[in-house]
Chain A
Amino acid sequence: MAHKHVNAIVVGAGAGGGIVAKELSEAGLSVVLFERGGWVSFEEYGQDELQNQRTTVLGNAYGPDERHPRVHEESPGQWRTVPPNHWGYGNNAACVGSGTVSYGAMAWRFHENDFRMRTTYGAPEGSTLEDWPISYADLEPFYEKAEWEIGVAGDMSGNPFTAPRRRDYPMPPFAHNREGRMLEAAAKRLGFHPFPIPMLRNSVPYGGRGACVHNRACCGYACPNDAKNGTQNTVIPRALATGNCELRTHTIVNEVMIDDRGRARGVKYFSTDDDRAHEQTADLVVIAGGAIESARLLLNSKSRLFPDGAGNRHDWVGRNLQDHAYSGAHALFDADIYDDVGPGATIAISDFNHGNPGLRSGAVLCNEFIKPPYGFTGLRPPGSARWGKEHKDFQRRFYKRTGGVHGPVQEMPVFNTRVQLDPVVKDHWGIPVIRLSGERHPADFEVGRFIASKAELWLKEAGAVKTWQALPGRIQRSGQHQSGTCRMGNDPTTSVTDRHGRVHDFDNLYVADGGLHVTNGGFNPVLTIMALGYWVSHGIKAQWKGRVA
């Protein structure tokens, strides 16, 4: 089935795509925004600890469903087809707003050095470490736009390491919880520089919605009173309000149609309700399906001119998949430190993002989101009994006396840590699925151990009676922080898009998600993905100027 031609197609209504749809429709372009999932609400799953986007033992609350399998390399040469709630799947979410519905909502700007990692550190052997083709200064106005249009609460005045900003946050910061107050005093005694975590969450009423009620279930859940700010309750409604944007939910885009002159004509897609095939033509196409699905769509878009997929003439699509090598420490205290004030994570230090002796990266260190009771059953000092009376005693004694500090260690990109099309496995609609493979760079573990040692130091100073380290695994399967598969760069032979997110070889095909990240910072990446959404839109609008809209 064919549909009326439009100016722009945006594939994926998440952090990047929601922003692009809003920016283009407000500029007067007619837009169709495609999304695999639908609108979701807190009421559907409530505070169910077994089915959300953080603990998925009974499935993902906010998608995708099992019609969307992937394949992951369990051990060398051993491929296994896995459902979306399997750890090897690399899931984010599939719904309007995507991960921004259920995220923990930390709102980090990367540091200036995060955009010039190769210049700062040189590339270690076995890594494709590179500078971004854009600088922090290029992105700064767009970070600011994300902070104000989506809504961030924070105060960076206590953090001397942060990159310069022209404008403050629109909302005051959140107060620390009990654990945060203990950690704040300890950090100061150690000479660290603690500050409140900036959050895409309302500390005061903002954007026509109320303030956070400090629910326990936050990270992994939709917000019960809509005080967490994602694209689903900010820019996407604004896009729809222009009258220029149609949101087409429950659709899966399987191919970008490319004509014989090498231009994108539109997309082919299926309705996931009735499995019918459709075509939608457009003047330009923006892919924002997340680093993994965007790479899949480019690779599945084979044409006469580009038989190996769009943007893949030099075999860079899907490579350099990054996430974060999370490292840190857990701790036991001899008095209650837990006050049940959700969502839990309140305090951070940025003292170890860069400048760590002999190391090429680092991480911000933060206290943790609340660990609900089932999640807590897996949190034990090494060698502890997992069940029986000891289990129960530990739960009773330490549920309110356990703390932790962790950091998203910036990974060294690895060429062969990647996603590819699986040669055999197809999804419900017959579309070849992604397979994931590869390991972390050895340097990530060195940084991980360093970060974990700093976490232990901090917790001990706060009064911990026992600490133990949590270090990253060898296999990297990404997830909510997926990035790097459609790297931006100035050299078309070693990147997928140009500095504006435009796919090399095309003048009307773009990527606008974490796939663009050359490196992924030592921070949760969503605010950078949002800033890139504005940055890519800005480039499209500049190119569009003067054409009919």
Chain B
Amino acid sequence: MENPNSSPNRRVSRRTALKLGLAGLVGVAVGGAVGAGSASAIARLGRAGRTRFRFFTDSEAALLVEICEQIIPRDDTPGAAQTGAIHYIDRKLCSVFKQQQQAYRRGLESFRQTCLREHGVAFESLSTSAKIDALRAIEAGRAPKELWDDPSPQAFFGMVLAHTMQSFYGSPRHGGNRDYASYRMLGIDYPPVVGRNRPRKG
């Protein structure tokens, strides 16, 4: 497999990296952009067991979290990135979603290449409206056929969509929905207390 730190999508903006809300990942993402020396230092850290994720490389995670954030964007309430979507997906890919590991690995690579081909830059560097358009194209299956085999663009998008929704609305014990953000957003009781689920005032 390609070294993630040498791939074009290492060009994560500092802003994007900050949005991940992960101090360690910020270092990796910014470090990746400044040169091979830093990248190898990070690779050594990785070998020492300091990776942020169970399954994803840091650059895969940076791309995926940007996709998740478009699916449930932050506005006056938190979105998918802030509430831990990446941790939900990463954890579950090492347990109940094990069979979807390759779909993520190949799908993210196909998507990365599609963005480079269509826009000339990495997905993370696009404007918000261009990101949404890029994802709408994937959702509808409008993508260079030679870049997508298995999963299809539609299947890839559907998988990420479902998992992002699960992370955002499921129990925080699975890694997403940090601080019951979605329950607060909906104005329903959090955490759910047995026999006392009543709407909160205000």
Contacts and interface: CB of A to CB of B under 8 A. Distances in A.
Interface in B55-89: 70-73, 75, 77, 79
Nearest to B186: A399
Interface string A19-54: 000000000000000000000001000111110000
Contact of A215 (B96, B165, B170, B195): B195
A463 interface: no
A388 B73 contact: yes
B170 A391 contact: no
Interface in A204-224: 213-217, 224
B182 A340 contact: no
A57 B163 CA distance: 9
Interface string A395-414: 11001100000000000000
State the main secondary structure of chain A at its contact with B: loop
Contacts of B195: 213-215, 224-225
A377 interface: yes
Contacts of B96: 58-59
B16 interface: no
A377 B167 CA distance: 12
Nearest to B200: A340
Interface in B167-197: 169-171, 173-174, 182-183, 185-189, 192, 194-195, 197
Contact of A374 (B75, B92, B170, B187): B170
A48 B73 CA distance: 24
Contacts of A386: 161
Contact of A47 (B165, B169, B174, B192): B192
**Best-surrounded residue of A46, A376, A377, A389 (most CB of chain B within 10 A):** A377
Nearest to A385: B136
Contacts of A392: 72-73, 75, 77, 79, 185
A217 B195 CA distance: 9
A59 B170 CA distance: 13
**Best-surrounded residue of A225, A376, A389 (most CB of chain B within 10 A):** A389
A308 B188 CA distance: 55
B71 A373 contact: no
A359 B161 CA distance: 40
B187 A388 contact: no
Nearest to B173: A48
Interface residues of B, number: 33
Interface in B122-169: 132, 161-162, 164-166, 169
B186 A50 contact: no
Assign chain A's interface to a size class: 20 to 34
Contacts of A400: 186-187, 199
A57 B164 CA distance: 12
B73 A374 contact: no
Nearest to A375: B169
Contacts, number: 92
Contacts of B188: 216, 340, 373, 399
B119 interface: no
**Best-surrounded residue of A47, A59, A374, A387 (most CB of chain B within 10 A):** A387
Nearest to B183: A373
A74 interface: no
A213 B199 CA distance: 15
B198 interface: yes
Nearest to A391: B72
Contact of A373 (B70, B186, B197, B199): B186
B194 A215 contact: yes
Given A57-B162, A377-B165, A50 B199 contact: no
A65 to B, nearest CB: 11
Contacts of A59: 96
A217 to B, nearest CB: 7
B197 A396 contact: no
Given A49-B170, A391-B72, A392-B75, A215 B197 contact: yes
Top 6 nearest A-B pairs (CB, nearest first) are: A213-B195, A374-B169, A373-B169, A50-B170, A387-B71, A224-B194
Given A374-B165, A374-B166, A387-B164, 19 more contacts: A42-B194, A47-B192, A47-B194, A50-B166, A58-B92, A58-B166, A58-B174, A224-B195, A225-B195, A374-B169, A374-B170, A377-B169, A387-B70, A387-B71, A389-B75, A391-B71, A392-B185, A395-B185, A399-B186
Interface of B: 70-73, 75, 77, 79, 92, 96, 132, 161-162, 164-166, 169-171, 173-174, 182-183, 185-189, 192, 194-195, 197-199
Interface of A: 42, 46-50, 57-59, 213-217, 224-225, 339-340, 342, 372-374, 376-377, 386-389, 391-392, 395-396, 399-400
